[in-house]
Amino acid sequence: MVAQLLFFLLAIVAIAAALGMLIARNPVNSALWLVLNLFCIAGLYLTLNAQFIGIIQILVYAGAIMVLFLFVIMLLNLAELPRREDIDWKRGAAFILGMGVLAQLVYIVAMSFDVLPHPPAAQEAVATGSAQVLARALFTEYALPFEVIGLLLLVATIGAVMLAKRRFV
Amino acid sequence: MSTPGTSYAIPGTEAGNVFRFWPRHNEALYKRLESKHAWLEARHHGDGGPAEADPLEHEMVLNIGPQHPATHGVLRVVVKLDGEMIERAVLDIGYLHRGIEKLAEHKTYQEFMPYTDRMDYLSPYSNNVAWCLAVEKLVGIEVPERAQWIRMIMCELARISSHLLWMGVGLMDAGAVSVFLWAFQMREEIYSIFDEVAGARFTVSHSRIGGLATDITPEGLRRIRKFVDEFPEVHAGWVKLLNRNRIWIDRNVGVGLLTAEEAVELGMTGPNLRGSGVAHDIRRFEPYLKYEDVDFNIPIRTEGDSLARYFVRMEEMMESIKIIRQCLDRLPEGPIRADNAKWAYPSKEEVYYSMEGMIHDFMYTDTGVCPPRGAHAYHAIESPKGELGFYLTSDGTGNPWRVRINAPSFTNLQGLEYMLEGALIADMVILIGTVDPVMGESDK
Amino acid sequence: MDLPLWATGLIGFLIINAMLVSASVLVYAERKVSGYIQNRPGPNRVGPFGFLQPFADVVKLIMKEDIAPRAASPFIHSLAPVLMVIIAMTVPAVIPFARGFVIADLDVSVLVVLALTSVSVYGVTLAGWSSNSKYSLLGGLRSSAQMISYELSMGLAVVSVVLIAGSLSLVDIVEDQASGWAILGWNVIRNPVGAMLFIITAFAETNRAPFDLPEAEQELVGGYHTEYSGMKFGMFFLAEYVNFFIASFIIVTLFFGGYLIPFEPLFAHVFYDNGLGWLLGVLQFFALLAKTAFFAFLFIWVRWTLPRFKYNQLMTIGWKYLLPIGIVNALVIALGVAVFEALGL
């Protein structure tokens, strides 16, 4: 009951924050909306009992990546975009309603063809969320993809350093 | 006078437009910031073509001072930053301008003395002595031996006091606040010596044309001896703390590099010049007072960075102690003022107990020394900051016709812009500290 | 320990208040210690030995007018100090204060600490940006760069601890240190490099001297909090002190045996045999406080002794020295743990 309430609360705030990020005219405000969104998603993970992923979400995305984003935005001193005057609220409302109806339709169609993923049992969810289970899966079953991703990130880092260096030579 | 009801605006200007010079002044500064041929530009763009456009605006003009904790008073530095790096810097001085040179023209030579206290207010005694020596040279006054030796003692104490403040403030700018208070503890000792000898702690005005105001008391001598004995130990403690402090050394090494040629060209004087390997010290090369009779070294370093200047000043303090020791040993007995009513004040006994003495005192206060018409003289001393010189021209009256002050802080500031370019913001505070400007002296 | 929700809430409330009081005590300690370092008495006028000085400061801060720059972004300008305090006050939730006494015994409490540390940079950065002042902006920029750089090394130091304990829970990490003889089980002995690394990065993460570049009074005139006044400034002030207090707690918990009393493994059974477990708990709490007080003193001591780093020195130390050391240390510890396990020790 509490979990469901929390879920809806967090989901609504997350969606609102995502919209806020899109609408905000100031890049810093945009970034902050995104941070709020990330926090809500971390909260969603917590309601699913996936503490590890939830905390990692905050640690990596909110704590490191978004700080870097913010750093770059502040460093570049990006100007605020002009305020939009010509927003067509009617069209926006129509878009949201339309998307809602579409989602419902897709949901019903998917349900009738039985392609929806079944929610895992509570016990299973606790097990998959913990660090041990996750680590075991990462380092055995998905060891190769894990290493490949690591390599990819390394290449990206080296590439970024090279690109950054060229300007000053 | 203005009749009641009129505004106080300056004639010929509308009210509210009184400070119209200010925008113009600032505009000139910014223009200079843009058009200055910075060496950095040449380095960045090689061919000297137009500066690269800055579409992302990561350059920023930052106004530092005149109210800023690191500017040692009211120095204003306008810097153009690229991130943390200073691309260009323009100094704006004059916020403490009081027109001292002009004021001198309406004072007798003796009356001007308190104004010199307020120039380099970290070593007032040196300024007093410099002024006295210049006037004495202009008139041709012979000063008794004892007065000269006492002047030397006090000048060296003033040098230590000034260097102590430089050290404390320099370290405080770098973030080590405790050293500031330790330095001030020793300065307090020097203040109490000044208090005993001159009767004032800060703006001493103890020197007189032709000698000194009062003789040094036995208590004063005792305090000086005590200080001379205690100081080396305290100094050694600081050296131990700082000379091998990695953070302090890394913050200074290679910062504000000046070669010997550059230092001479930029007109650096004093420790800033000696830090670049030019062994120029007026005490040695144009000895005044009795400096030729005492034995001391001129500490120099050839590296030319802030660390070199730090070592030079730290060692100078110990050399000063050496000089004071010799002075104390050789302090002769005798009068402390020239016994000539045209040259110096008569003693208080004469003033109180003889008619002539009183008349002389009155005449000296009213007119003072009168150098011959057309005489001019320049005399410089090695003040703690560098060469402090007074150029005097006389019209035969008791007031100088023109006084020109060669202030070391002012000449040292000429090098600051050059050193700031290419430095980091964090280097800026170190550099201002290492140049050791006193705005009272630089702005005159 | 499964407490009802209201009890947890009450304990949380008490601990938050204890943190607020400890911040004032730390302010007093800092001023007194700095006074003795600088050969002066420090505050000695308000209350006995000047002990009420920090409270007088707080009253003054509350009374002061709240001034915000006209061009500041009002919401974020107010949000930043609140954020700082909230984050600083959240960390005690996962610190084990005595055996079985922790507000939230999470499986991943180490990560919670790291996450909160990494998020705390927002307060500083946003304060710097929203003030719309160049000095503040530079402070905010410095802070975000510094935090990102030192978080990596801090994470690696924590990883080495986690490897030894084999758990992400702070409670497990502390209990794991009870395994050796007397104090030999403490991580500072098993993992000295990691301990040094963590202490250094803790200084950097809490923006304390010699890593106080974001506020550098002499260069940036206070940096990110240049444009703050009144209680908003007071909140930054509070957060700074709570932060380094918390950092001391974490240092002790990770490396110096947490709530373990020195030589505890030798005599702990005496208490349990006689049914005096609660007394041991109280003693453990005071042991933790004593150890934390030492590190809080270390923070103060270093601040009043060392000059500040320069920006490029900071980056060099973070990336060229601490990070490689951290990586090598983590590898060595991992190898050691593997070898020990293989040998069945």
Residue A168 counted as domain residue: no
Contacts of A77 in chain B (CB under 8 A): 56-58, 60
How many beta-carbon contacts under 8 Å exist across A and C? Answer: 71
CA distances (Å), origin B191, targets B235, B331, B432, B438, C198: 18, 21, 25, 19, 46
Chain C residue nearest residue A59, CA to CA: C115
H/E run at residue B314: helix B306-330
Contact C218 B176 (CB under 8 A): no
A contact residues 56-85, partner B, Cβ 8 Å cutoff: 75-77
The pLDDT score that the predictor gives to residue A154 is: 93
The residue among A127 and C135 whose pLDDT is bigger is C135
Nearest to B402 by CA among B102, B176, B145: B102
What rounded mean pLDDT belongs to chain B? 83
Interface contact flag, B424 C213, Cβ < 8 Å: no
**Strand, helix or coil for residue B62:** strand
Of A16-25, A123-132, B132-141, the least confident: A123-132
For tokens 């400007």, the residue is: B437
Q: What is the pLDDT of residues B276-310, one digit of tens each?
A: 888 888 888 888 888 888 888 888 888 888 889 99
**pLDDT band at B1; cut points 50, 70, 90:** very low
Determine, for residues B429 and C310 on separate chains, whether the beta-carbon distance falls below 8 Å.
no
Q: Neighbouring chains of C at 3+ CB pairs within 8 Å? A: A, B
Q: What integer is the mean pLDDT of B29-53?
A: 53
pLDDT at C67 (0 to 100): 82
User: Kindly report the CA angle at C102 between C96 and C104, in degrees rounded to 5?
Assistant: 115
Instruction: Choose, out of C119, C125, C133, C142, the residue to mutate when testing the contact with A (most A CBs < 10 Å).
Output: C119
Are C259 and C97 in contact by the 8 Å Cβ rule? The answer is: yes
- Gap from C315 CA to chain B (nearest CA, Å): 13
**Most confident segment among B307-311, C67-71, C106-110:** B307-311
pLDDT at position A126: 55
Q: Residue B292 gets which letter from DSSP?
A: G
Residues ≥6 apart with Cβ < 8 Å to B261: none
Confidence band for A153, pLDDT divided at 50, 70 and 90: very high
3-state DSSP helix/strand/coil percent for chain C, to nearest 5? 70, 0, 25
Is A39 within the bounds of a domain? yes
Worst-scoring range by mean pLDDT, B161-165, B223-227, C15-19? C15-19
pLDDT, one tens digit per residue, over B198-237 is: 888 888 888 888 888 888 888 989 999 999 999 999 999 8
Taking CB atoms and an 8 Å limit, are B182 and C304 in contact across chains?
no
Interior CA angle at C241 toward C240 and C247, to 5°? 90
Residues of A in Cβ contact (< 8 Å) with B83:
75
Contact C148 A70 (CB under 8 A): no
Instruction: Indicate if the pLDDT at residue C5 is higher than 80.
Output: no
* B74 confidence band (pLDDT: 50, 70, 90): confident
More confident residue, C301 or A88: C301
B360 confidence band (pLDDT: 50, 70, 90): confident
Query: Residue B64: enclosing H or E segment and its boundaries?
Result: strand B59-64
Q: How far is C305 from chain B (nearest CA, A)?
A: 6
What CATH number did the domain enclosing A29 receive?
A: 1.20.120.1200
Which stretch of A165-169, B150-154, C16-20 has the lowest confidence by average pLDDT? A165-169
| Chain A residue numbers touching B46 (CB-CB < 8 A) | none
Chain A nearest-CA residue for B54: A76
Structural domain including A33 reads: 1-87
| Residue A163 touches chain B, beta carbons under 8 Å | no
d(CA B26, CA B327): 51
Q: Are the C-beta atoms of A3 and A47 separated by less than 8 Å?
A: yes
pTM confidence score: 0.80
C residues 138-167 closer than 8 Å to B (CB):
138, 142
- Which pLDDT score, from 0 to 100, does residue C236 have? 86
**One-letter amino acid of C8:** T
Of B266, B269, B275, whose CA–CA distance to B389 is shortest? Answer: B269
B171: nearest CA partner in chain C:
C307
Domain count across chain A: 1
The minimal CB distance from A68 to the residues C73, C137, C148 is found for: C148
Residue of B nearest to C211 (CA): B175
* Residues in B 83-102 with any Cβ partner in A closer than 8 A: 83
Task: Look at residue A43 and tell me if it is in a domain.
Answer: yes
Q: Which positions in chain A touch B60 (Cβ < 8 Å)? A: 77
CB pairs under 8 A between B and C: 79
Distance from CA of C140 to the nearest CA of A (A): 8
The C-alpha angle with vertex B393 and arms to B389 and B398, in degrees rounded to 5, equals 110
Residues of chain B with a CB closer than 8 angstroms to some CB in chain C: 60, 62, 68-70, 84, 171-178, 181-182, 185, 245, 247-248, 250-251, 424-429
pLDDT at site C2? 60
For the cut 50, the answer to whether the pLDDT of residue B51 exceeds it is no
| pLDDT at site B97 | 87
- pLDDT reading at B239 higher than 50: yes
Which residues in chain B are contacts of C145 at CB distance < 8 A? none
Q: Which of B176, B181, B425 is closest, CB to CB, to C307?
A: B176
Q: What is the pLDDT of residue B17?
A: 58
Residues of C in contact with B427 (CB under 8 A): 310
* A74:C140 CB<8 A: yes
Out of C142, C305, C312, whose CB is closest to B178? C305
Residues of C in contact with B169 (CB under 8 A): none
Over range B177-203, report the average pLDDT.
88
Looking at residue A92, what is its pLDDT? 81
Four-CA torsion B412, B413, B415, B418, nearest 10 degrees? 170
Would you state the pLDDT for residue B423? Answer: 84
Quick one: pLDDT band at residue B73, thresholds 50, 70, 90?
confident
| Residue A106 domain-assigned (yes or no) | no
Which residues 301-330 in chain C show a CB within 8 A of chain B?
Answer: 304-313
Give a yes or no: residue A54 inside a domain.
yes
Report DSSP letters for C89-117, one per residue: HHGGGG---BTTB-S---TTHHHHHHHHH
Across the interface, whether the CB atoms of B69 and C304 are under 8 A apart is answered no
Q: Which residues of chain C lie closer than 8 angstroms to B178, CB-CB? A: 34, 37-38, 304-305
3-state secondary structure of A24: coil
Residue A68 lies in a domain: yes
Residue A113 domain-assigned (yes or no): no
Residues near B247 by beta carbon (within 8 Å), at least 6 away in sequence: B174, C210, C306, C307, C308, C309, C313
State both tokens at B256: 């504000």
Residue environment code for C66-81, b if the CB has 16+ CB neighbours within 10 A, otherwise e? eebbeebbeebbbbbb
Q: According to the model, what pLDDT value does residue A85 have?
A: 66
Kindly tell me if the per-residue pLDDT of A152 is higher than 60.
Answer: yes
Size of interface A-B (CB pairs under 8 A): 9
Measure in Å the smallest separation between the Cα of B173 and chain C Cα atoms: 5
Whether A158 is in a domain gets the answer no
| Cβ–Cβ contact C33 with B under 8 A | no
Task: Choose between C303 and C104: higher pLDDT.
Answer: C303
pLDDT tens track for A90-145: 888 888 899 999 999 888 888 887 766 666 555 555 556 677 777 888 888 888 99
Shortest CA gap A168–chain B (Å): 8
Chains contacting A (3 or more CB pairs within 8 Å): B, C
CB contact under 8 A, A76 and B83: no
Is the pLDDT at A23 greater than 90? The verdict is: no
ipTM of this predicted structure: 0.78
pLDDT of residue A95: 86
Cβ neighbors of C315 (< 8 A, separation 6 or more) are: C145, C149
